[in-house]
Amino acid sequence: MTSTLPIRLPLDGNTASGSRSSQLPQFEGSAHAKAILFGEHAVVYGAPAIAVPIHELAAEARVDSAAEGVRIESELFSGDASAAPARLQPVVTAIHAALAYCGKSDESVRVQILSAIPHSRGLGSSAAVAAAIARGITNWAGVQLTTAGLYDIVQQAERVAHGNPSGLDARAVTSDGAIRFDFGAVSPVRIGAPLSFVLADSGIAGSTAEAVGAVRMRREQNPEGMETLLSRLASIAEGAIDDLALGDHEAIGARMRDAHEVLHAIGVSSDALDALVAAAHDAGAIGAKLTGGGLGGCIIALAHSAEHAEQLGCALREAGATRTWTATVPVA
């Protein structure tokens, strides 16, 4: 698969209405993917984390009135929400939470979901789909969606998807720029020079709930050792704030290398992820690490330029990545 993206969608939240496939007006909502640059897992225990938006990958929800009940149309399942499979329960939760937010729990809707974000790959697919649904349904209902309301709807869906999410994904998929997340508080991160990344898929699904559960268990078994490792992740994220502001790519890359080593030590990497990280370094990446929950999913590698990111993508596919995507984070 090439690094060209399948769809690019408008990302300004509650967007235009119009009629597409049905005669009823349709209302849209969208949200983008995210990649965690620093601080995954440690963020669950209150450490700072840094995430970047991946605008190149997006999810969209199209909403219109239905004859009866709540109808979902998606690649995985089409039918009444009450018959949706387990994997779609976060979607069902997001729909009901958004309808409740609008005071329209008893109304009938059809929600079409189109997503270019692969699920179980650490790219925020479940949070982005929930955010797109929240935006689409509030747009359909003509109800103003506040930042707090959006966060609350996405977190309700994320709890069903992952158990006890830190909230980082919910914030990252709804923020236009890079963010620092500190136990619920979000602030923008200054980016002193554009960042060109490649994301490479190991082809193996990673369960965030499983990875978070495994870290929790190790922390119970070995509190001191794990505390040392989690604090290292916290200081890597803390130190990266200045490097990002200065546009110091070498320092950012070095921190990515360190972060991957620590994530490996806490047990959330895998042979496939380690091999992709090594292949990225061999191909000249400034730094590379797993991103998100791990135990499968993707790595993120920092390139010297957008062109170099494309070259890294080729090298990573040759090294076994099933898919790659390039992404740029501009100066901010």
- In angstroms, the CA 220 to CA 214 distance is 10
In the complex, what is the shortest distance from the CB of residue 232 to ligand MEV, in angstroms, rounded to a whole number? 15
Give me the residues that bind ligand MEV (CB under 6 A), please: 36, 40-41, 43-44, 122, 165-166, 168-169, 208, 211-212, 292-293
In the complex, what is the shortest distance from the CB of residue 38 to ligand MEV, in angstroms, rounded to a whole number? 11
Secondary structure element (H or E) that encloses residue 287, with its range: strand 287-291
Of 88 and 211, which has the nearer Cβ to ligand MEV?
Answer: 211
In the complex, what is the shortest distance from the CB of residue 148 to ligand MEV, in angstroms, rounded to a whole number? 19
Sign of CA dihedral 16, 106, 71, 25: negative
User: Known catalytic residues?
Assistant: 169
Of 169 and 258, which has the nearer Cβ to ligand MEV?
Answer: 169
C-alpha distance across the termini of the chain, in Å:
31
Burial of 288 (0-12, 13-18, 19+ CB in 10 A): buried
Of 53 and 292, which has the nearer Cβ to ligand MEV?
Answer: 292
Q: Are strands 109-115 and 70-73 parallel, antiparallel or unpaired?
A: parallel
In the block, which residue shows the tokens 């506040």?
Answer: 146
User: Other C-beta atoms within 10 Å of 121: how many?
Assistant: 25
Of 166 and 202, which has the nearer Cβ to ligand MEV?
Answer: 166
In the complex, what is the shortest distance from the CB of residue 199 to ligand MEV, in angstroms, rounded to a whole number? 13
